A = this chain, B = another copy of it.
């Protein structure tokens, strides 16, 4: 059940695909080049492999527990969180002004991958804290920032995001939690929030809840939602902890997976009112929440990649060890380890190809985010920001869908043992299943991709990416060999399909919105397949160039890229067909509710 961070592949992607040298040229990141990345990744791998990974099974067997409002984390988690906090890991990508390390997102991202691969339930606590920090840095007053951010970065306190209510899940317009102004600048918050990850626990001294609520005079719908900060313990003027605030955990959920991570039902204001402080301006809560949600969505995409890699590692190890059946090619008279059977190899290659492709795309996205924030030229910042924003729903949506398939293949490689909980493959399958749901389901990501990310700019960013991919197709034509030929053919067909789908979306969004949105998730998956395939193609070109330096590593890259082209990119045309066939005048879109 061990986890070994795939540092070699991570560094390959940082250097060759995401351009860490370019990031290190940005103002403020001069010290954050390849060598720094290597040193940071090595340290992160130690903590994750030695401290967090061994606790992953324990968290599943002995989940967080609730008693009389008190939530106790799995034994070992509190100590591990101390080590995480003391190592400065929470502040990795946050500004030095608030005691963070100020490193690029590009270096923080592989560390985030390791954290989630080693222990998904544990990693959710820092992930939500990151979200709270982002929201405060973006929208909070200097006073709020000074009061909360350093304590969040130090790990003395942790953060949460309180959006969902029983009637308001994907649809935040239905939020009902109330915030009554008290005349002294504070508010009294009352209402019920559900699905609050790490909403109550004993790993830190205080918990800083960021809460969406409505003031009495707020307009209806999403334009009347404000963002409040509601600490579990109030903060005295000297920064010490004061009275217990009126926010209480009334229960935690019994879930399919991520059992160590307590999912709280929080009751605000049942005993006189929870004191809250407005963050930024009233009625702009959704906008602020989107800032932290974009960070969190990227993070959840990384979770998918992380669990996929761990599931792959486990399956590959089992396939090398388990001996069963003679080879089909007659090359041995005795049973061999199952990695020699072609279908096991197909499964492992599928897992690895999807994982590596998604990793590369996510790291490339992280580099765009760094350029978007640090590039000296405003136009360049805007360009990188637009690309990053296009990529976020793809990284979130595709990585979390693919991990369900990868984790399922991981179970399958183990045969009957995969179904036995003690083996551990089933935990990845269960844990992973939340990822395509929380922080916005795949459909919500796909709506974002269609609406804000494609229609709003009339496909400009998407088409710019398509033009870049066409350049990679041309570069592939210059390379000999079956792998490059397969990749050229696959990527060319893939980008053609993606281009047609984008044209369909733009042409039909007004005329037949139901048809377009019926194809939104397939469009997202197609974008994921093609954009990740593009990264695999770029990796293939580099591996071909540098092959002599390290033939075993580069040949594997080439083989996995070829597999990606022949098995994953090959799905593109079928997805295109399913999107462009939609027409709300007939078929399932025209059926009555009672015909289902």
Contact = CB atoms under 8 A, between A and B. Distances in A.
A512 to B, nearest CB: 8
Residue among A171, A256, A442, A517 with the most chain B CB within 10 A?
A256
A54 to B, nearest CB: 20
Interface of A: 164, 167, 169-171, 173-174, 194-195, 253-257, 316, 319-320, 323-326, 328-330, 335, 337, 339-346, 348-349, 352, 404, 408, 411-412, 415-416, 418-422, 426, 429-430, 433-434, 436-438, 441-443, 446-447, 481-483, 486, 513-515, 517-522, 552, 555-556, 559-560, 562-563, 566-567, 570-575, 577-578, 581-584, 586-596
A64 B552 CA distance: 50
B324 A174 contact: yes
A335 to B, nearest CB: 6
A592 B559 CA distance: 11
A348 B596 contact: yes
Contact of A412 (B422, B436, B562, B573): B436
Contacts of A482: 583, 586-587
Contact of A415 (B167, B412, B441, B584): B441
Given A416-B195, A596-B339, A577 B570 contact: yes
Residue among A443, A521, A583 with the most chain B CB within 10 A?
A443
Given A167-B323, A320-B593, A566-B581, 16 more contacts: A171-B324, A253-B420, A256-B421, A328-B447, A345-B518, A346-B588, A352-B596, A404-B408, A415-B437, A419-B433, A430-B430, A482-B586, A559-B587, A559-B590, A562-B587, A570-B581
Contact of A441 (B255, B412, B446, B555): B412
A563 B577 contact: no
A308 B573 CA distance: 27
A339 B581 contact: no
Contacts of A352: 596
Contact of A595 (B330, B514, B555, B572): B555
Given A415-B169, A416-B169, A437-B412, A588 B339 contact: no
B583 A416 contact: no
Residue among A337, A436, A517 with the most chain B CB within 10 A?
A517
A255 B438 contact: no
